[in-house]
Each structure stands twice: as structure tokens, then as C-alpha cells.
Amino acid sequence: MDELNGHSPGNTLTPLDYAALFAASPYPYLLLDTGLVIIGANRAYLQMTGRAGDIVGQHLFDAFPPNPDDPDSTNIDYVRNSLLKAIATKVADSTPFLRYAVRRETPDGTIFDDRYWSAVHTPILDSAGNVLMVAQNASDVTDTHRAQLAQRDTERRLQEGMIAARMVIWDLDLVNGQVRFSANANVVFGGDWTGVGSVWEAIHPDDMAGLHAARNKAITERGDYRQTVRLIRPDTAAILWLDVRGKIVCNADGIPIAVRGVSVDITERTRAEEELREADRRKDEFLAMLAHELRNPLAPISAAAQLLRMPSVNTDVIRKTSDVISRQVAHMTRLIDDLLDVSRVTRGLIELERAPLAVQDIIADAVEQVRPAVAARRHDLIIDLPAIAIELIGDQKRLVQVLTNLLNNAAKYTSEAGRIRLGVSVVAGDVVICVEDNGIGIAPELLPHVFDLFTQAERTPDRSQGGLGLGLSLVSSLVALHGGTVMATSGGRGMGSVFTVRLPSTVVPAQPVPETLPAAPQAPRATGLRLLVVDDNADAAEMLGAFMESAGHTVRVEYDPLRAIEWAKVDPPDVCLLDIGLPGMDGNELARTLRTLPQLAQTMLIAVTGYGKEFDRDQSIAAGFDYYFVKPADPAALVTLLTGFRRH
């Protein structure tokens, strides 16, 4: 080797001698003089670069010019500098992996083939110690470089995937207790995880015993383990829930030496599961409450029905019993309406009938509705209205419902002889309505969920507020439909509460109010009408028929729509009261059929149904109904409607 490098004192080898010597090498070599002119290239070098022997005598960078179309082709400088350094220092020098395009001649013309190279430049000295030439040992490392790039890309994607999956890989040395984490630990867990002691200090104390027990059991059984633990982030002290899985690693003698595992951050999933459990718990409480609330009015209704069966029931008892039934039916109707409203809101079926409204009128309607409840508990209701008139665009019925729910809520959850304040103001162009009470207040843990569905303050045996816990959820949804916000504040238990509704007050041209139901033919007062009642619910049909008979009308009750058609042909009625949910033929189809009968051309058709959606109403009007009543329909309202009707 000393002879090859020109170090022997008697070295008289010429460049041609060295060229011949390197020609026999299986490794690619190129010989250059100190002016970087090629003086030799062996077969391996020519094959590797795809060149011919005619490069001998050319300058290195003429034989291998940079790609003129590549603005980043600066690696030629690295090669030149490495060669000049080897010549100047008389010490071998190497280049890193360099991208250097090799010019190749093809039938289609000259191309530049991007390749990656690694080269060692060794100076060869003459007997006087001067540089005689430089030997370039080059290696085409393109495949190796691309493999390294692919590996780095794979590692990068793995790291990104682990971060996205909130996953950290770790190794625990059972001999020294040291733990090594994957590079993404700091991102997933937060803080610095290079220390050893901090690992165990960060585990929640209540979870340490279970984690150690699971790991020790796995060590004994030479198996694996899985445990859920809480981790305290060292940077924010926030709690992370981790799904920890570990596998015992043994040496050749079967002795456990390490634990290799993965920890996945399941905090979001754990919270979601807890929220689902809480929602399920509230749902169960709601169903129990619903059963309770429905039984309450059913009990007096059942008792009233039995009382009316008793002999020698006088008129006064009948009147009182009727009042009880009416009140309890009204209460059940309100409960069912709340349920239906919640269903419509959650399915996006509520349609607001917007019109310009005076805020003072909304307040007056709401106060009128809640005044009996307020008076019953001897509350002091203070109303604070501004002197100026305030207008907004909204649905009168729904906004009254919002305030009624808030005021009823205040009345229910304030001890007797309490104080309720209803205040209205204008702030930054918005109408701000506050309902404030000095009642039981709202517990801090309940406050964030006070507008959630099925949420209700704790009930105690000595309180019977009633309700289903739907009111505030409806308030929130209806206010949001109006483009407003509602918030609740409370100092805690026993500190009262404040509900603040904020609504935009900008007045815009009112949208057309939906048309009312078509008016049926009416004339001066007439009695003794012929009525046809059709309902597959026999009790409902018989009771409605009995009430109408008591009002002086002649009533025919049918439970089957086909029989009703046949009877109508024989004895055409003045008025038909039809259920919609009939077997075989629904009420809308029955109405269309009746409208085709010439003898029923002037007959009034009234729908009496349990379907209460606007869509159902529109369908029935299109089918030919004149009026639409939702069950439980008020029989007195029906009698009033018929009072002015006369068949032409």
C-alpha cells in the first residue's frame, strides 16, 4: 500500500504505471492529475458512469459537466473542493452523499441521470513527496440513499401517525428501572420525558397499585398486561387517561429483562363515554320523572271516573268532578306539548312565524299566563320595563313560551313569599330580558348543564314542583332559533339565579303571516245539526259524541271509515268530525272521498287528531278539511264553532 501511495523512497512509478495498476481493480477508480485532468479510468468506473474510454485526457468537469437545467446543481463545488483539499494537504479526503447528474447519450439525445455518489480522493505522491496524481474511488450510492430517504419518510409518517393517534412507544429496563420513550412523547404527554423518576411521579397515586400489580402478574406469567391509568401532565397538571399495554421481554435464559409497550391517550374517548353515561343517567331519571308526572293527573282522573259511576251523584259533585278532570287533562296536555316541542326542536321541525312584535306585549302575555302560579306561592313579581317602546322580529307564541318557562321555573324553585324580578333593557342594539329570583339557586356542578335536555334541579320529598326538566332546554333552543342567546348565573345553592335572554331588536319588514284555515260556511245561529264522528278509538268517539248530543246535536258514531262512507251516502251529515290515524283508510283519504259525494258538497269537515305538526295540518287542509283540532280537543270550542254553522 505504501508503494501505491508513493511513499517508498525508491518510487519511480509513472502515471501510466498507476493507470495500469488500477485498471485491474474490481472497484471503480478514476486517476486525475493535479490539474484535474483525467489520466485513467478503469472498467468498473466506466461501467458505473456509463461512459467510454474517450474521457481520458478531458478535464473532469468537461467529461462530467453539471446539468445546465438544474439550478440546484452546486454539488460540483463539493467534488472540486475535496480534490483540491487532498492535493493541498496530501491527505485523503471524502465527500458526503452528493446528488450529481451524469450525462448519458441516448438515441433520443442527451439526458442527465440523477444519481447519488460517495467518493474518496487519495493523493498519490512521488519519491520527493509531491502529489503525482489523485485517485478517485467513487461509489454509486443512489439505491442506498433512496432507501435511507424511504426509511426516514416511513419514520416521519410513523411519528406523525403516532402523534395523531396519541400513541407513545416505550421500553422499561427491569434491571435499572430506566424508561425510554419514543420521540413523540413530549408532544403527546407534554413536558420533558427524558428523566426516569418523573415517569412514576406523573402516574396518579390512586392508579399506581393497580399498574404495578398488573405488571408484576405479567412478569410472573411471562405474558403481557393492559391497564388504564391517569397521567398528570408535568407542564399543565391536566389529567390524561392512558390505555397502557406492556409485553414482557426475556433473555435467552427466560429471565424477564424488560417491558416493551405502548400507551395511548384515551382522554377524549373517556370523557365522551362519561358524557354518554351521564346522558343515559339523565334519560333514566327523565323516564322515571315522566312516569311520575303522568301518574299524578291520571290518579284524580281515575278517581273522578269511579266517582261518576256511583249512585246518587248530585249536580254539585258532577261539576266539581268535571273541573278536576279538565284541570288534570290540561296539565297532561302541557306535558305532552313540551315533549312534542322538544322532539320538533331536536329534529329541526320548528318553523317560526316571524312578525314585528312589541316586547311589552310579549311580557304582558307571559305574565298573564304565569300569574296564577306566582300568586299560588305568594311571590312578589316585580316587572321593570323601559319607558320607550321596543320592537323585535320574532314568533309571538314561541317568545311568550320562552318567558313563561323562565318565570314558571323561577316560581317553582323559589320558596314561598319569594321575590322574582323581570327586567327589560336595550344593550348595544339588543333586547336583554332578565328573570331574577332569590330561590334555591343552582349548584356549581349543575350550572354548565342547566340547558341540557332532561336536566333538572334535585327534587326533595317535601317539594313537588312537577315538570319534566324540558323547559330550559326548550328556552335555549327557541332563543337560538331567534338568533339570540341565553345564559344562567347563580352564586350557588341558596343564592338565587339569573337567566338572561339576549335577542336582536333590529326591525325588518315583516314576513307574510301564514294564512289561517279557510273559513267554513257560516250563517246565523242554528242548532240540531247532524254530526258524523269517525274514530277507531271507541272511548274517544263515544265521549265526543255524547258531548255533542248534550249540546243538542244528532250524532252518528262510526269506528270504521268504510262504514262511515256508506252511512254518509244514506244520511248526509251537516258536519263530520274525523280522526286522521284510521285503519285501512286514513282521515285525509276519507275526507277526499267524502268531498266527491254530491250530497256532502256543503258539509263541514273537521279533523280531530293527535298529529300536531304543521306538515300534518297542511296535508289535511289540502285533503279538504275546513278546520283542524289537535287532541285533546276542547269540546266546548267545537260546540262554539258549530253554533254559527248552517248547512246550505
CATH of the domain at 243: 3.30.450.20
Residue labelled with grid coordinates 312516569: 291
In this prediction, residue 518 carries a pLDDT of 39
Percent of the chain scoring above 70 in pLDDT: 85
Instruction: Look at residues 265, 293, 315 and tell me which one is the last residue of a structural domain.
Output: 265
Distance CA 231, CA 242 (A): 7
Q: Which amino acid is at 301?
A: I
Name the pLDDT band for 4 (thresholds 50, 70, 90).
very low
Same domain, 63 and 164: no
**Considering the entire predicted model, what is its pTM?**
0.45
Mean pLDDT taken over the chain: 82
Same domain, 55 and 119: yes
Asked if the structure places residue 147 within a domain, the reply is no
Beta 380-384 vs 419-427: how paired, if at all?
parallel
Neighbours of 218 (CB within 10 A): 20
Same domain, 495 and 562: no
Distance CA 213, CA 226 (A): 11
Distance CA 38, CA 54 (A): 10
Asked if the structure places residue 1 within a domain, the reply is no
Asked if the structure places residue 511 within a domain, the reply is no
> Mapped to the 3 state alphabet, what secondary structure does 601-637 carry?
CCCEEEEEECCCCHHHHHHHHHHCCCEEEECCCCHHH
Q: How many residues does the chain have?
A: 648
Partners of 498 in the β-ladder: 436, 489
Name the pLDDT band for 110 (thresholds 50, 70, 90).
low
pLDDT at 607 over 90: yes
Same domain, 280 and 418: no
Q: What is the mean pLDDT of the segment spanning 260-280?
A: 88
Same domain, 21 and 132: yes
Distance CA 575, CA 567 (A): 13
Distance CA 395, CA 95 (A): 80
Same domain, 189 and 252: yes
Write the CA distances from 236 to 164, 202, 626, integer angstroms: 20, 12, 67
In this prediction, residue 597 carries a pLDDT of 95
Question: Phi/psi at 383 (nearest 5 deg)?
Answer: -115, 120
pLDDT at 529 over 80: yes
Distance CA 598, CA 595 (A): 8
Distance CA 48, CA 123 (A): 22
The DSSP result for 320-344, as a single string, is HHHHHHHHHHHHHHHHHHHHHHHHH
Q: Which domain holds residue 411?
A: 355-504
CB 484 within 8 Å of CB 504: yes
Q: For residues 570 and 511, which has the higher predicted lDDT (pLDDT)?
A: 570
In this prediction, residue 100 carries a pLDDT of 65
Residue labelled with grid coordinates 312534542: 340
Asked if the structure places residue 572 within a domain, the reply is yes
CATH of the domain at 544: 3.40.50.2300
Neighbours of 147 (CB within 10 A): 11
Write the CA distances from 607 to 26, 146, 542, 623, integer angstroms: 102, 79, 16, 10
Name the pLDDT band for 524 (thresholds 50, 70, 90).
very low
Name the pLDDT band for 234 (thresholds 50, 70, 90).
confident
Which segments within 491-547 are labelled E, that is strand? 497-504, 530-534
Q: Any idea which of 1-10, 11-20, 116-125, 374-383 has the lowest mean pLDDT?
A: 1-10
- 3-state percent helix, strand, coil for the chain, nearest multiple of 5: 40, 25, 35
Name the pLDDT band for 583 (thresholds 50, 70, 90).
confident
Three-state DSSP class for 280?
A: helix
Same domain, 62 and 103: yes
Distance CA 414, CA 374 (A): 10
CB 257 within 8 Å of CB 249: yes
In this prediction, residue 555 carries a pLDDT of 93
Q: Any idea which of 135-149, 330-344, 610-624 has the lowest mean pLDDT?
A: 330-344
Asked if the structure places residue 59 within a domain, the reply is yes
> Mapped to the 3 state alphabet, what secondary structure does 594-610 carry?
HHCCHHHCCCEEEEEEC
Q: For residues 293 and 146, which has the higher predicted lDDT (pLDDT)?
A: 146
Instruction: Look at residues 298, 316, 346 and tell me which one is the last residue of a structural domain.
Output: 346
Asked if the structure places residue 194 within a domain, the reply is yes
Partners of 40 in the β-ladder: 31
Q: Which amino acid is at 374?
A: V
**CA 581 from chain center: how many Å?**
37
Same domain, 370 and 478: yes
In this prediction, residue 289 carries a pLDDT of 65
pLDDT at 616 over 70: yes
- Residue 211 belongs to what H/E stretch? helix 205-221
Distance CA 564, CA 532 (A): 8
The DSSP result for 100-115, as a single string, is EEEEEEETTEEEEEEE
pLDDT at 200 over 80: no
CB 441 within 8 Å of CB 491: yes
In this prediction, residue 604 carries a pLDDT of 94
Q: What is the mean pLDDT of the segment spanning 454-473?
A: 57
Q: For residues 306 and 209, which has the higher predicted lDDT (pLDDT)?
A: 209
Q: What is the mean pLDDT of the segment spanning 206-228?
A: 93
Helix 267-309 and helix 315-346, axial crossing angle in degrees, nearest 10: 160
Residues whose CB is less than 8 angstroms from the CB of residue 52 and which lie 6 or more positions away in sequence, other chains included: 46
Q: What is the mean pLDDT of the segment spanning 584-599?
A: 94
pLDDT at 515 over 60: no
pLDDT at 351 over 60: yes
CB 631 within 8 Å of CB 608: yes
CATH of the domain at 341: 1.10.287.130
Neighbours of 152 (CB within 10 A): 10
In this prediction, residue 455 carries a pLDDT of 64
In this prediction, residue 646 carries a pLDDT of 60
632 cis-preceded (ω within 30 degrees of 0): yes
Name the pLDDT band for 112 (thresholds 50, 70, 90).
low
Distance CA 524, CA 511 (A): 35
Q: Which amino acid is at 193?
A: W
Same domain, 360 and 489: yes
Partners of 106 in the β-ladder: 109
In this prediction, residue 469 carries a pLDDT of 65
In this prediction, residue 104 carries a pLDDT of 62
CATH of the domain at 422: 3.30.565.10
Instruction: List the one residue out of 413, 368, 341 whose CA is nearest residue 612.
Output: 341
Q: Any idea which of 11-20, 136-145, 498-507 has the lowest mean pLDDT?
A: 11-20
Q: For residues 244 and 327, which has the higher predicted lDDT (pLDDT)?
A: 244
Distance CA 179, CA 149 (A): 29
pLDDT at 95 over 60: yes
Q: Any idea which of 147-161, 255-269, 571-585 has the lowest mean pLDDT?
A: 147-161
Same domain, 575 and 434: no
CB 629 within 8 Å of CB 638: yes
Same domain, 70 and 104: yes
Instruction: List the one residue out of 360, 404, 399, 402 whose CA is nearest residue 383.
Output: 360
Distance CA 64, CA 146 (A): 22
Q: How many separate domains does the chain show?
A: 5
In this prediction, residue 13 carries a pLDDT of 66
In this prediction, residue 348 carries a pLDDT of 72
CB 523 within 8 Å of CB 644: yes
Asked if the structure places residue 510 within a domain, the reply is no
Name the pLDDT band for 464 (thresholds 50, 70, 90).
very low
Can you list the alpha helix ranges (DSSP code H) found in 524-613?
538-550, 561-570, 587-595
Same domain, 364 and 495: yes
Asked if the structure places residue 525 within a domain, the reply is no
Instruction: Look at residues 140, 161, 178 and tell me which one is the last residue of a structural domain.
Output: 140
| Span 367-401, pLDDT tens digits | 988 988 899 899 999 999 888 888 999 999 899 98
Please give the grid coordinates belonging to residue 214: 398488573
